[in-house]
Amino acid sequence: MKYMLLINAGELDLQDTPVGCEPEDWMRFDKEITDAGVVVASESLADLVTATRVEVANDGKRTVTDGPFAETREVLGGFYVIDVPDLDVALDWAARCPGSRGGGSVVVRPIADF
């Protein structure tokens, strides 16, 4: 069963990185989850200031805007798609992900099966 782990960064405070979210924590986690052989896909996203939003209205008119810049406090920073037996295993990987620490969170969503 495939699940997507959506990694939301906490409020960005560049002065001090929260405990457990150092670059080496991410590298260790990535190695662990890759070595476990469960990763289907994973990416991390570039900084939010590079994001661009596209909307197409009913009349076909395209609107392109810079952003979105969040009033939302959580920002999608990356994802893993993993293939594991059940939700408990997926939640366990989510809890081990550094993104779930320091005010961030990981949302676990099953991939739809058509």
Partner 1 sequence: MEQVEAVFREERGRLLAALARRFGDLDLAEEVTSEAIEAALTRWPIDGVPPNPGGWLMTTARRKAVDRLRRDQVYAAKLAILQVEADRPTPQATGNELPDERLQLFFTCTHPALAAEDRGALTLRCLAGLTTPEVARAFLVPTATMAKRIVRAKKKIREARIPFRVPGPDELPERLPGVLQVIYSVFTEGYAASSGPYLQRLDLAEEAIRLARILHRLLPEAREVTGLLALMLLIHARRDARTGPDGEIVLLEDQDRSRWDHEMIAEGRDLVVTALTGGPPGPYGVQAAINAVHDEAAEFESTDWPQIVQLYDVLLDLDPSPVIALNRAAAIALRDGPEAGLELLDELAAEPRLQDYHPFALARADLLQRLGRLPEAITAYEQALALAGSEPERNLVRRRLGGI
Cα 91 to chain center, whole Å? 14
Decide if 17 contacts 102 (C-beta within 8 A): yes
What is the closest distance, in whole angstroms, from the C-beta atom of residue 106 to partner 1 in the complex? 13
Contact status: 114 vs partner 1 (CB under 8 A): no
Give the start-end residues of each E strand in 31-74. Answer: 39-44, 52-56, 62-66
User: Interface mask (CB under 8 A) for partner 1, residues 56-85, using x and -?
Assistant: -----------------------------x
Which of 45, 48, 51, 91 touches partner 1 (CB under 8 A)? 91
Contact status: 40 vs partner 1 (CB under 8 A): no
Q: Which residues bind partner 1 (CB under 8 A)?
A: 1, 85-88, 91, 108, 110
